[in-house]
């Protein structure tokens, strides 16, 4: 089938921002002006297209990324609207993995907020070109240039204003386009009636200055433009846009626009900027992967005539259609009814249907071409991060990495039927969300579910009760502590069993080292002289990994250690993989005895309060074992930054409201794990195990 839109006319973009900056409202306006919607929904009414889950509409926030497609100036724009709450940052992570460009939205009053920094760093990691949209210019306290300055100082970026606001707060009427040097006024409530006028006299000096800065910056990316600029010749708008595009694609600058999505002002210039500055699939580097057998590097150029290469980046459970697998096609064409090869798992699967998604609405399409983002039904073995490719040309793309859960709650199903449903439902939710895990506690028999925060688990529990019809009692949130080595050591693991026939013999000596926080588990083999055959190295590693699931202090997982296998012995008849696996387990257990350290998750907390309450809030944070790291004034408000243990932050929202008469707000996100003080460690061990520690 011939391609409807040339690849150069395709834009795969994400909308990312801090919570409540206006991502979903902006996306709703984009869909309206591109003709995809005929009526704009509102977040506060629970009527938006992209926030389609019941939990999203009730809370007025986005908790899952939603995909849609629209058209502007003959360009096809595939959009993913991502959550802004830190608990759902995995949705941003996996969306950015498959996007070519993003629109970062900032609140004109709040500026660069904590989650803005988080998603910006995520985009930096993937070197994704982006443009910035300063939203809510109609709000009291809106300050466009303060936000631009914040992007430069806090995000270490190079913001370049493309337009300027005409007024601010209740006088915000439109924008000045610095490329064409025209003022754009919005004449009706819907923002559909637009008029271009001359720039008001009181703004002409500022606009000339900003235009000079714009041209000077763009000239760095275009030698001809530089000559015209130096010679004082007129700069054609087309040449200026092309130079700015070149700088944006190199991630060397960030075009900045402004508007008010809620008041329907400034969205059309934003759409023009998406088309003008953000990349097509042809503008980004070709994807690189490895051959699953030979390990050699393979490259896939973005073209329909190349072998198929696609990445599954999201799984959704649909009550009517079953498992939906969202994917991005990097090369080749995927046709409904054909087969794909899951190179990550080495299995072949049939693609029964291909769907173009519009939030939770879907349209059957015959094929997905290079650059397309679509979904398919019926893939049983494909999960988030798996590579879908042509079996004759296998390739594995770099897998995704996800953060570990930091908070847990216990669940107890009420009946046997609920227990069966709970197991199936948890498996489905874990498949959807890689940051959500569950297990059965061996001592209590309770089901323990773990996630990224209180809101994350609240949404999971709500879905279990409503969507999956599981009746269960839910306990209070518990912190997901970790254990690690207190000091480096060498330990021996010897597993010997004689039962009359063939016995079991495995013997290893392992050096254990504590690694920096967040390093995970490393295994190194430095055995010399063949004292332990290479065939058993993997078994030793697996045994140590098994033992790391439960630490000796309070049964929490062991993290951040390096195990170096240095010596051992074997028996030519009695040694087996099982015996060396058991020897590995014993080595770690001996190393951890009396040498364990409990780690607790620390949260980066930012509290915004009026000056009148600063003393009480600081005292409260200190009483929660918090470390105050800085304070900054924002008008009549004070912003407090600190590190606080997660265990001390339960119920903080209510306490903060009480201290500040409802005027204080806060955000927090996981920072790192650090050793728990001895008194707290003893208290936790006593609570979890019933054991009193001297």
Amino acid 44: pLDDT: 54
User: Which of these ranges, 179-188, 466-475, 566-575, has the smallest mean pLDDT?
Assistant: 466-475
**Beta-strand runs (E) in 49-97:** 66-72, 75-81
What confidence category does residue 192 fall into, taking pLDDT thresholds of 50, 70 and 90?
confident
Residue 171 has pLDDT above 60, yes or no: yes
Element (H, E) at 596: strand 596-610
What pLDDT sits at residue 689? Answer: 78
**216 within 8 A of 208, measured Cβ to Cβ:** no
Longest Cα pair distance anywhere in the chain, in angstroms?
101
CA distance 210 to 176: 11
Give the model confidence (pLDDT) of 193-229 as tens digits: 889 999 999 999 999 999 999 999 999 999 889 988 8
Highest mean pLDDT: which range of 21-30, 169-178, 399-408, 669-678: 169-178
Q: Indicate the range of 161-170, 431-440, 533-542 predicted with least confidence.
A: 431-440
Task: Judge contact between 84 and 50, C-beta under 8 A.
Answer: no
The DSSP letter of residue 559 is -
Residue of 45 and 239 predicted with greater confidence: 239
Rounded Cα gap, residues 371 and 283, in angstroms: 11
Q: What is the mean pLDDT of residues 161-170?
A: 92
Structure confidence by residue, pLDDT tens digits, 369-419: 999 999 998 898 999 999 999 999 999 998 887 877 878 888 888 888 888
Q: Which residues contact 67 (CB under 8 A, 6 or more apart)?
A: 78, 79, 80, 326, 357, 358, 359, 373, 375
Q: Token pair for residue 394?
A: 């296998």
Q: Which residues pair with 354 in a beta bridge?
A: 365, 376
- Report the residue count for the chain: 694
What pLDDT is recorded for position 231?
Answer: 86
Tell me the angle at which helices 223-231 and 237-249 cross, rounded to the nearest 10 degrees.
130
- Cβ–Cβ < 8 Å for 253, 247: yes
User: Which one has a higher pLDDT value, 476 or 580?
Assistant: 580
Closest CA to 521 of 507, 504, 535, 541: 541
At 688 the pLDDT is 80
**Cα(375)–Cα(372) distance, rounded to whole angstroms?**
10
- If you average pLDDT over residues 584-612, what whole number do you get? 91
Whole-number pLDDT of residue 10: 94
pLDDT of res. 59: 65
Separation CA 166–CA 110 (nearest Å): 20
Q: Compute the distance between CA of residue 398 and CA of residue 509 in angstroms, rounded to an integer.
A: 34
pLDDT band at 439 (very low <50, low <70, confident <90, very high): confident
- What would the two tokens of residue 358 be? 């519009």
CA-based torsion, 399, 400, 404, 409: positive or negative: negative
Q: Quick one: average pLDDT of 248-272?
A: 94
107: helix, coil or strand? strand
Q: What percent of the chain has pLDDT over 70?
A: 94
Q: Which of the residue ranges 449-458, 465-474, 584-593, 665-674 has the most confident prediction, judged by mean pLDDT?
A: 584-593
**Does residue 301 sit in helix, strand or coil?**
coil
pLDDT at 346: 92
DSSP state of 531: S
For residues 532 and 508, the answer to whether their CB atoms sit within 8 Å is yes
Q: At 246, is the pLDDT very low, low, confident or very high (cuts 50, 70, 90)?
A: very high
Q: Which of 33-42, 335-344, 474-483 has the lowest mean pLDDT?
A: 33-42
3-state helix, strand, coil in the chain (%, to 5): 30, 35, 35
Tokens of residue 502, six digits: 């063939």
pLDDT band at 503 (very low <50, low <70, confident <90, very high): confident
Mean pLDDT in the chain? 88
Provide the 10 A C-beta neighbour count for residue 233.
10
- Asked if 127 contacts 35 with a C-beta cutoff of 8 angstroms, the reply is no
- Condensed to tens digits (0 to 9), the pLDDT of residues 75-116 reads 999 998 888 666 777 788 888 889 999 999 999 998 988 778
- Does residue 52 carry a pLDDT above 60? no
Helix and strand numbers, DSSP H then E, in the chain: 16, 38
Residue 416 pLDDT: 83
Beta bridge partners of 68: 79
Q: Which pair of structure tokens corresponds to residue 25?
A: 């409202």
447 close to 506: Cβ distance less than 8 angstroms: no
| Distance of alpha carbon 327 from alpha carbon 315, whole angstroms | 9
Going by pLDDT thresholds of 50, 70 and 90, the confidence category of residue 43 is low
Q: Which residues pair with 598 in a beta bridge?
A: 483
Q: Give the tens place of pLDDT for each residue, 146-161.
A: 999 999 998 989 999 9
Q: What is the pLDDT of residue 75?
A: 93
Helix ranges (DSSP H) in 220-266 = 223-231, 237-249
CA-angle at 308, arms to 305 and 310, nearest 5°: 130
pLDDT at 47 over 70: no
Which single residue is written with the structure tokens 């197991």? 423
Q: Specify the pLDDT at position 507.
A: 94
Of 98, 87, 83, 103, the C-alpha closest to 14 is: 103
Q: What is the pLDDT of residue 233?
A: 87
Cα separations in angstroms, 676 against 128, 481, 484, 559:
38, 9, 11, 14
Owner of token pair 């994704």: 128
Q: Which residues of 624-636 are buried (b: 16+ CB within 10 A; e: fewer)?
A: bbbeeeeeeeeee
Closest-CA residue to 240 (of 229, 254, 256): 229
Distances from the Cα of 691 to the Cαs of 74, 444, 557, 600, 679, in angstroms? Answer: 69, 16, 18, 19, 14
Q: Scanning the structure block, which residue is given the tokens 């637009």?
A: 194
* pLDDT tops 60 at residue 540: yes
Residue 260: DSSP 8-state: B
Rounded Cα distance, 582 and 576, in Å:
10
| pLDDT for the residue numbered 48 | 61
Bridge partners (DSSP) of residue 641 are 606, 630
**Residue 623, pLDDT score:** 93
Strands (E), 6-114: 10-17, 66-72, 75-81, 101-107
Rounded-to-integer distance, Cα 149 and Cα 156, Å: 10
Q: Which helix (H) or strand (E) holds 150?
A: helix 144-154
- Which carries the bigger pLDDT value, residue 2 or residue 188? 188
Beta strands in 294-415 (DSSP E): 297-300, 309-318, 322-331, 334-335, 339-342, 347-350, 353-358, 361-365, 367-368, 373-377, 387-389, 396-397, 407-413
Per-residue pLDDT, averaged over 574-587, amounts to 93
Rounded CA-CA distance 481/408 in Å is: 10
The answer to whether residue 1 scores a pLDDT higher than 60 is: no
How far apart are alpha carbons 467 and 510 in whole angstroms?
A: 48
Q: What is the pLDDT of residue 46?
A: 56
Q: What is the pLDDT of residue 54?
A: 66
Q: What is the pLDDT of residue 442?
A: 65
pLDDT(117) > 60 = yes
Q: From CA 306, how far away is CA 512, in angstroms rounded?
A: 48
Question: Which conformational region is residue 582 in: left (phi greater than 0), alpha (psi within -120 to 50 degrees), or beta?
Answer: alpha
What span, in angstroms and rounded, lies between the C-alpha atoms of 300 and 297? 10
Q: Bin 467: left if φ > 0, else alpha if -120 < ψ < 50, else beta.
A: alpha
Sign of dihedral through CA atoms 52, 56, 61, 66?
Answer: negative
pLDDT band at 303 (very low <50, low <70, confident <90, very high): very high
């Amino acid at each position: 089938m011939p391609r409807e839109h040339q690849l150069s006319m395709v834009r795969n973009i994400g909308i990312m921002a801090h919570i409540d900056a206006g991502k979903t409202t902006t996306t709703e306006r984009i869909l309206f002006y591109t003709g995809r919607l005929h009526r704009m929904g509102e977040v506060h009414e629970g009527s938006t297209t992209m926030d389609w889950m019941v939990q999203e509409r009730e809370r007025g926030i986005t908790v899952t990324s939603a995909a849609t497609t629209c058209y502007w100036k003959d360009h096809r724009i595939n959009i993913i609207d991502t959550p802004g709450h830190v608990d759902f940052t995995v949705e941003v992570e996996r969306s950015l993995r498959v996007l070519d460009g993003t629109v970062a939205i900032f609140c004109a009053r709040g500026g660069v907020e904590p989650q803005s920094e988080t998603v910006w760093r995520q985009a930096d990691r993937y070197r994704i070109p982006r443009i910035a949209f300063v939203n809510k210019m109609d709000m009291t306290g809106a300050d466009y240039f303060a936000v631009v300055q914040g992007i430069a100082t806090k995000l270490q970026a190079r913001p370049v204003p493309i337009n300027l606001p005409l007024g601010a707060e209740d006088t915000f009427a439109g924008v000045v386009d610095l490329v064409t040097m025209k003022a754009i006024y919005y004449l009706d409530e819907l923002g559909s009636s637009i008029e271009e006028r001359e720039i008001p006299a009181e703004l002409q000096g500022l606009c000339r200055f900003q235009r000079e800065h714009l041209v000077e910056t763009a000239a760095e990316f275009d030698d001809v433009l530089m000559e015209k600029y130096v010679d004082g010749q007129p700069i054609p708008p087309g040449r200026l846009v092309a130079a700015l595009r070149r700088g944006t694609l190199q991630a060397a600058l960030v075009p900045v626009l402004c508007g008010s999505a809620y008041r329907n002002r400034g969205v059309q210039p934003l759409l023009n900027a998406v088309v003008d500055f953000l990349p097509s699939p042809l503008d980004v580097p070709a994807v690189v992967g490895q051959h699953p057998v030979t390990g050699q590097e393979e490259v896939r150029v973005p073209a329909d005539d190349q072998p198929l290469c696609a990445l599954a980046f999201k799984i959704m459970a649909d009550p009517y259609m079953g498992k939906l697998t969202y994917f991005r096609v990097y090369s080749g064409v995927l046709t409904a009814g054909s087969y794909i090869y899951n190179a990550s798992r080495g299995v072949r699967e049939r693609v029964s249907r291909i769907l173009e998604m519009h939030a939770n609405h879907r349209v059957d399409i015959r094929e997905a071409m290079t650059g397309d983002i679509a979904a398919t039904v019926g893939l049983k073995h494909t999960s988030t991060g798996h590579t879908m490719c042509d079996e004759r040309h296998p390739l594995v793309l770099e897998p995704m990495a996800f953060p570990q859960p930091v908070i847990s709650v216990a669940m107890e199903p009420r009946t046997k039927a609920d227990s069966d449903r709970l197991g199936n439902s948890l498996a489905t939710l874990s498949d959807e969300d890689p940051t959500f895990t569950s297990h059965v506690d061996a001592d209590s028999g309770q089901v323990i579910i773990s996630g990224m925060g209180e809101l994350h688990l609240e949404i999971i529990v709500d879905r279990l009760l409503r969507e999956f019809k599981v009746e269960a009692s839910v306990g209070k949130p518990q912190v997901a502590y970790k254990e690690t080595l207190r000091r480096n050591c060498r330990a021996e693991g010897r597993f010997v069993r004689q039962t009359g026939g063939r016995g079991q013999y495995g013997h290893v000596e392992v050096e254990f080292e504590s690694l920096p926080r967040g390093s995970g588990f490393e295994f190194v083999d430095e055995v010399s002289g063949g004292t332990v055959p290479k065939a058993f190295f993997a078994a030793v590693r697996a045994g140590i990994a098994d033992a790391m699931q439960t630490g000796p202090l309070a049964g929490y997982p062991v993290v951040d250690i390096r195990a170096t296998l240095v010596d051992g012995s074997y028996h030519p008849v009695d040694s087996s993989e099982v015996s060396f696996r058991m020897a590995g387990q014993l080595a770690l257990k001996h190393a951890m005895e009396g040498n364990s350290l409990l780690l607790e998750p620390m949260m980066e907390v930012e509290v915004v309060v009026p000056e009148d309450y600063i003393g009480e809030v600081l005292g409260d944070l200190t009483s929660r074992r918090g470390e105050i790291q800085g304070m900054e004034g924002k008008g009549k408000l004070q912003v407090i930054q600190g590190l606080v243990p997660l265990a001390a932050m339960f119920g903080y929202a209510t306490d903060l409201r009480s201290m500040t008469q409802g005027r204080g707000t806060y955000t927090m996100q996981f920072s790192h794990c650090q050793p728990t003080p001895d008194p707290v460690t003893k208290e936790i061990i006593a609570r979890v195990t019933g054991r009193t520690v001297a």
